[in-house]
Amino acid sequence: MKTITRLNLAEAMADKTGYHISKMLEIVNMIINEVYREIVKTGCVKIKHFGTFSTRRKPARTGRNPKTMQEFEIKPRVIVLFRPAKKLRTIINDDIKDRNND
């Protein structure tokens, strides 16, 4: 698995567009911050042909340390889910098929 940083994205954009990397980094940060704000505000962000980020509340529950069998409470929390769009799933599946056929 490769981690893609904001800087990696900005560098790739700068290479393709010819704009300065600092300007591209500013744009990447603006996009990501807007996604953050919208998830917090509405609980859902849909990026067409990419996927949907949504939130779900998980209630408190009792957990158990499997080694010691000691029980503890897991606090309620909100998690972020990602569901890829059909187009993204198709691209990924086609790529996997191509690699398997080689």
**pLDDT, tens digit, 9 for 90 and up, residues 49-62:** 999 999 999 999 99
Backbone dihedral region of 68: left (phi > 0), alpha (psi from -120 to 50 degrees) or beta? alpha
Q: What is the pLDDT of residues 8-35, one digit of tens each?
A: 999 999 999 999 999 999 999 999 999 9
CA distances from 59 to 19, 62, 72, 74, 84 (A): 47, 10, 14, 9, 25
Tell me, what's the pLDDT at 37?
A: 96
Tell me, what's the pLDDT at 1?
A: 79
Average pLDDT value for the chain? 94
pLDDT above 70 (res 102): no
Q: What is the pLDDT of residues 64-76, one digit of tens each?
A: 999 999 999 999 9
